[in-house]
Amino acid sequence: MVLTVVLTTLAGLSLGLTVWQWLVAWRFPLHRRAQDKGFTPPVTLLKPLQGADLETARCLRSWFEQNYEGAVQILFGVASEDDPVCDVVRQLMIEHPRHDAQLIFCSKQLGANAKVSTLVHLERLARHETMIVSDADVLVPADFLRQLVLPLADSGVGLVHCFYRLVNPSGLAMRLEAFGVNADFWSQVLLAQALKPVDFALGAVMATSRAQLRQMGGFIALIDYLADDYQLGHRIAQRGARIALCPVVVECWSAPASWKEVWRHQLRWARTIRVCQPTPYFFSVLGDTTFWSLLWAISQPVPAVFFIACGCVCARMLIAIYLEGKMTRQLDLNSAWIAPLKDLLRVSIWALSFLGNQVTWRGQRLRVRRGGKIVKI
């Protein structure tokens, strides 16, 4: 009887959180552009790179084709001269000779996080006060720079980040991962923001100032952390600056991945979040409507409970269709069955994240320590 009461409560709570998640997403002005065009400071774009795929050139080209009135310095950093991405960057610089762009070889690795090591090298060559960090697989609209830096006109804002969506899933495994990003992740960030001010950053694109970096010790202070984006936003927020969210969405174009690769990526992400925010992550499973509704129906197999549990799952499906549709601007009814399947897999990932501290990243096996630091195995 006690178990039934607990599961009934958890099923109701999970549905309430899912509805709240929909409400904050419905109210957020996703994709909306600001009309003020008067703030266009000179910026330096730091672009750490490793490897190339079919979409790399298009993603990098989008940064050369920005409609931005201010000066833009672009610094591409690679660890090896033999990296195939070097040829891609050289070709783009030939195509855009008037752009202030450089390819920098950052062969000396300064710590456990190779990406941050590259950022440390590039930071030394940055000429402008406003600095932008972006992942290699990010494609941006032509007006993105103008929209991204605008919140920095407020002196109280220390960092600006934005949502991203996965646009080219191939196979069921990547479709599930894309759904997690395009429907759940961004709306869960908004739910967290509704509870308290955001004290982390999303790493697809981040804009901050040299002064903020200097106060936190520069990128070198993040050299041994896996979630460098989280650490950057967290340290800036700890010093009293606000983290602003740009409503313009960027696209992430990922290379095809197998079930094993997607599973490793999800587990790495889960274990990283667990060590960065252990309490919120532990309670995050309470929002899994499918899981708790099914457990409730199994624990009390009577028609009334069955129909109510089905209603909870159906509500989850409808909300999932809306959330993904708002992000992608496309209606995909397949989200209805993707949502409960993803929920059940997420519970497995959530449980496994507590059973170890090893992750695989960029071909390396790493151990994640308390607080988010990593060491090579």
Per residue in 240-251, pLDDT (tens digit) is 999 999 999 999
Q: Is 377 helix (H, G, I), strand (E, B) or coil?
A: coil
C-alpha closest to that of 234 among 187, 266, 202 = 202
**pLDDT at 374 (0 to 100):** 86
What is the residue whose two structure tokens read 């419905």? 26
**pLDDT at 337 (0 to 100):** 94
**pLDDT at 208 (0 to 100):** 97
pLDDT band at 377 (very low <50, low <70, confident <90, very high): confident
**pLDDT at 141 (0 to 100):** 97
Contact between 222 and 231 under an 8 Å Cβ cutoff? The reply is yes
Question: H or E element: which one contains 45?
Answer: strand 43-48
According to DSSP, the residues that pair with 159 across neighbouring strands are 208, 243
C-alpha closest to that of 161 among 196, 100, 208, 119 = 208
pLDDT band at 376 (very low <50, low <70, confident <90, very high): confident
Neighbours of 36 (CB within 10 A): 10
Distance CA 200, CA 235 (A): 8
Does residue 361 carry a pLDDT above 80? no
pLDDT band at 79 (very low <50, low <70, confident <90, very high): very high
What is the residue whose two structure tokens read 């752009």? 99
Distance CA 6, CA 191 (A): 24
Portion of the chain with pLDDT greater than 90, in percent: 78
**pLDDT at 358 (0 to 100):** 86
Quick: pLDDT tens for 158-183: 999 999 999 988 889 999 999 999 99
Question: H or E element: which one contains 279?
Answer: helix 278-283
What is the residue whose two structure tokens read 């309670």? 283
Distance CA 289, CA 320 (A): 11
**pLDDT at 247 (0 to 100):** 96
Q: Does residue 131 or residue 261 have the better pLDDT?
A: 131
Q: Does residue 277 or residue 140 have the better pLDDT?
A: 140
Distance CA 246, CA 160 (A): 7
Q: Contacts for 292-301 with beta carbons within 8 Å, 24 or more apart? A: 292/7, 292/10, 292/11, 292/13, 292/14, 293/11, 293/14, 293/15, 295/7, 295/10, 295/11, 296/4, 296/7, 296/8, 296/10, 296/11, 299/3, 299/4, 299/7, 300/4, 300/7, 300/8
**pLDDT at 215 (0 to 100):** 94
**pLDDT at 3 (0 to 100):** 84
Question: What is the residue-averaged pLDDT of the chain?
Answer: 93
Q: Does residue 26 or residue 3 have the better pLDDT?
A: 26
Distance CA 34, CA 246 (A): 10
**pLDDT at 348 (0 to 100):** 94
Q: How far is CA 200 from CA 158, 209, 245, 338, in A?
A: 11, 16, 11, 28
Q: Does residue 364 or residue 91 have the better pLDDT?
A: 91
What are the start and end residues of each CATH 3.90.550.10 domain in the chain?
43-261
Quick: pLDDT tens for 85-130: 999 999 999 999 999 999 999 988 888 898 999 999 999 999 999 9
CATH of domain 43-261: 3.90.550.10
Q: Does the model's pTM come out above 0.85? A: yes
Contact between 126 and 43 under an 8 Å Cβ cutoff? The reply is no
How do strand 157-166 and strand 242-252 relate by DSSP bridges?
parallel
**pLDDT at 325 (0 to 100):** 96
Does residue 23 carry a pLDDT above 90? yes
Contact between 67 and 142 under an 8 Å Cβ cutoff? The reply is yes
